[in-house]
Amino acid sequence: MDKQKINLRFGVITGIILLAAMTRLIPRPANFAPIGGMALFGAAYYSRRYWAFIIPIASMWISDVILNNTVYARYFDHFVWFYGGSLFTFAAFALIALFGMYALKRVRVYNLIAAALGASAIFFLVSNFGAWITMDAYPKTPGGLMACYAAGLPFLKGTVLGDLVYTGLLCGAFEYGMKRFPRLRLPEVSMNK
């Protein structure tokens, strides 16, 4: 019974993350994406920590492959499995998940808000650093790095809003689901032996 509960929980969490990743395929404001929300959600609810890295990153990669070869295909002259900055995006994702494991030991509204804001900062810093490293648009100097960060500032609003909304939606939906369907809860470990 406990194994069935854990498998059900794992399946629901994974399904929610896959669904969130696929929302990247619908039109939306710039940078309003589920990236931070997916990483934080996985970090908060997977009972095995490694799944908090594997499933969200794999989901992001799948949605990237679809986006880069359909919506953004005009920017590439061949089928794209990875783009220049993808390793930095995945590194940011992993750092957000690691951050979420500590920030969301208890899922509370104020923890979710703080974690979402932290996720936005991590993604902004790492992804723009990656853009600076991988693109020829900025000189490889401290001034070039600052220019890259300055150029990224207009997109930060969308990232923050996306992280707040998706973190709230994903975690809120799962918390509601656990109340409505107790089988989604982790089996309680007895401390009285």
Q: Which mean pLDDT values do the consecutive 10-residue runs of the chain (193 residues) have?
A: 72 94 89 93 93 91 89 86 86 95 93 97 96 92 96 95 97 94 72 42
Following CA atoms 147, 149, 150, 154 in sequence, which dihedral angle do they give, to the nearest 10 degrees?
A: 140
Minimal CA–CA distance to 159: which of 96, 100, 107, 69? 96
pTM: 0.88
Do the beta carbons of residue 56 and residue 39 sit within 8 Å? yes
Cα(137)–Cα(48) distance, integer angstroms: 41
Dihedral sign from CA coordinates of 72, 78, 82, 83: negative
| Domain segments of the chain as ranges | 2-184
- In angstroms, how far is CA 119 from the centroid of its own chain? 8
